[in-house]
Structure 1
């Protein structure tokens, strides 16, 4: 990148993305992380990002494959995972709901946001103050100690399209199949704002004991306030310094709904991202999980599956009598150019209709005992991509329940290349 475009903040974000698994050199790791992505914000949610103790704490976003980082709206910082592809179908129309016009959209400076965060926190010792802003986002973080031990607290402000899928999903509770959490509530406030409060963990299997409690508020104008707090001085690589994060749920709600933060978020510009188009159903046979369920071989029981609103991603949990096995599918439209050369090289199998197929076998999520992950990645000449992955456990964040996934690689390939995923099928 030329010196004129050099941004230390972007570099710090890139470092964290490598730590969190949000950007991957290969699509294999991307797909392995889809469950965590799904759990942390159930598709395109969690636009929260903050810098804690000098290292960026980025919440993953977008089950559709997109990562929106601070400043990621049209300024070149928007990152896409290797599995990402345009979600919109040609000819789709954008929703009519648009954001109320503001006469003077402004971005609160990081220093000002730090000052407000310090003012809104209960009485205690504040250290390691940090903050910053881009054209469309503001963030602030501090290390806070109320006498019970040091804790990182961070706030992130931006604005989303009111009434959009992003706005709705930002405050939806995640699927417990993919992430461990103790509690989550999603409520509508009297003024029309939506609020989600979640008591979770920094790692999807809660292995470190580091707790991460979050609040996400979206106002009727699209203002988004994201709050995160930990029971350690940084979100990663610090010992647990207290049993719980410092703010209980009522105080977390009070912080997220504070007038100063709401006003600042509502004043944020939307940026130059276009309004979300409605791609319609991605498969001719209904939801991803519905199509996947019909393709499961006879004799294998479907224990559970994702709901009908699975938006390009769906799963089933299977049991053939030898233990549960998670199988999940991603469908993306018109991914030509983005992925073809990178993921489907000269060694890819090419079927008679031009579909390219790549199969992989590797270990599953780091730190989970005995997990293996098999996948079949396919892309058709029209750019439609279907990726199926299977695990030898009923979830990605739990130990293995069996030696191998319930479906063979041959069965996975048959499902991924089945014509029922395609409109002409």
Structure 2
């Protein structure tokens, strides 16, 4: 029986170095998601924060991705020492978060302190993710990119399923500020696991920061598949942000779903993403990597069309929202895992962090624009028509991939130069 169970474990997890790297990454992701619940609830429950103050807190947590992602990519490629950088990011986040329960215990906790903690932890999370993406290629052979990406994206989806639930439970038991202590422990655990491995890292190039950034952007623009991926992903994230900005308002106001029903629906969407992370390899082997990427890029936004079809009947609406979130989550993983694997395969080691930094900067930039556009469309067109427009735009965002060498890509491409 034990032998049969071991045979079902993905081969990469038999490798001690990758297993510890993956576990550290999973623990760190989980800590991030606990923070997304515990930190805002600290502001609400301990400091009576207003809606505007909460909005500012949320913006500060994501602002570093928009402002610094491209420069961080150049910095990581130039400096190297990725494992050490990830350890410092974990320790830095632990140090920043532990100040919250300490200040709360001393009765000196303030909103500006929470804002600063959100900014610091958001910046370090971005740096950790960029470095992790680059170190991944030093640990995983090209032939195992799909399997390795499925594991890493699967753990990310797991954190989205479990992190908020664990965070909410801890807040209920311990209070919001004290719940952050467990988050601190998660980052210390991640750092400890990373210290136990010694991967062979690619030596960094000695260039100036501006040269690094310029060369990274030039590489993306001159590589047809990456260029199509960036354009398609940018458009997809723009339209999805428009959709999601209006989605909660639509299902709460027009469909009259309760907060509990909304939470269950979103949770099942995350379960769909988790399932998608396990079946992507199967789809890739049977359809090919490129067609699976294209399929996911259509299913992810296309499944959401079930939501504006919903009627005022609460339980029918709930069922349609659950189905939409579940299949959209699966499509997201088909798209995300294969797209990330293609990007990994095409990108030389010396460009990995810059390409990932450029991607993060693009995605977060269009999300900011999408949120602003959503407000205008929801006001001028109404919620349901605006949702339809966002979904149609999301499906059509696959067109750059259709006209690139993606549909005929049966296996991962060779590295580009």
- TM-score (norm: length of structure 2): 0.26
Q: Which protein has the bigger strand share? A: 1
Q: Which has the higher contact order (CA 8 A, sep 6+)?
A: 2
- TM-score (norm: length of structure 1): 0.26
Q: Which protein has the bigger helix share? A: 2
